[in-house]
């Protein structure tokens, strides 16, 4: 397994629209394993292939504290959603920035698992937020896109400061 470099906002590659996965094979499963390792290492609760510069519709997630809720979503589609929630979000591509975003409270998602089997489930709370956030990545969207111009500017300054501190 290997840790993968994560694209950092505002890298234009984060704006790429991902293509559907065509084959769920061993090469894809190796990528999935690397994505989980990278996500847990950071640590984060979700990672879209877009963020590691692979532009296919693939997401890994685990919103648990103890690595017991691993989810693989290949070619995910939200088939139903309900309600509204505001949740403070962060993103491995936008380190140190956290901001409230309005999302659906529950979503029903249909996807393929790591064996290529289709499944569907309904979930609310943080996992629902995570699904919507990661699916945005596959469409070239980043959560800071939802912020007001002022809040986005503050976020960009914070990010620039972080990037400078990292270089020192």
Of the two residues 39 and 91, which places its CB atom closer to Ni ion in the complex?
Answer: 91
* Choice among 77, 134, 153, 166 that is catalytic: 134
Binding of Ni ion by 91 (CB under 5 A): yes
- Least separation in angstroms between CB 130 and Ni ion: 9
The secondary structure of 9-72 as a DSSP string is TT-GGGGPPPBPP----HHHHHHHHHHHHHHHHTT-SEEEGGGGT--BSEEEE--SSSS---EE
Binding of Ni ion by 73 (CB under 5 A): no
- Least separation in angstroms between CB 43 and Ni ion: 13
Phi, psi dihedral angles at 160 (to 5 degrees): -65, -40
Binding of Ni ion by 49 (CB under 5 A): no
- Least separation in angstroms between CB 150 and Ni ion: 21
* Catalytic residue check, 134: yes
Of the two residues 24 and 61, which places its CB atom closer to Ni ion in the complex?
Answer: 61
* CA distance linking residue 81 with residue 107, whole number of Å: 4
- Residue in the structure block whose two tokens are 């920035």: 97
Which residues make up the interface to Ni ion (CB under 5 A)? 91
Give the catalytic positions in this structure: 134
């Amino acid at each position: 397994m290997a840790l993968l470099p994560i694209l950092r906002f505002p890298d234009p590659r984060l704006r790429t629209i991902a293509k559907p996965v065509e084959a769920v094979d061993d090469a894809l499963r190796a990528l999935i394993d690397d994505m989980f390792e990278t996500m847990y290492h950071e640590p984060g609760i979700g990672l879209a292939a877009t963020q590691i510069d692979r532009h296919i519709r693939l997401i890994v997630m685990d919103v648990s504290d103890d690595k017991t809720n691993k989810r693989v979503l290949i070619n995910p589609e939200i088939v139903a959603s309900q309600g509204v929630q505001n949740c403070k979000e962060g993103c491995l591509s936008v380190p140190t920035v956290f901001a409230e975003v309005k999302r659906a409270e529950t979503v029903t998602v249909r996807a393929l698992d790591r064996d290529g089997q289709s499944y569907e489930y309904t979930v609310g709370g943080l996992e629902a937020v995570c699904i919507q956030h990661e699916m945005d990545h596959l469409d070239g969207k980043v959560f800071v896109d939802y912020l007001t111009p002022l809040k986005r500017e503050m976020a960009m300054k914070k990010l620039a400061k972080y990037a400078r501190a990292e270089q020192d």
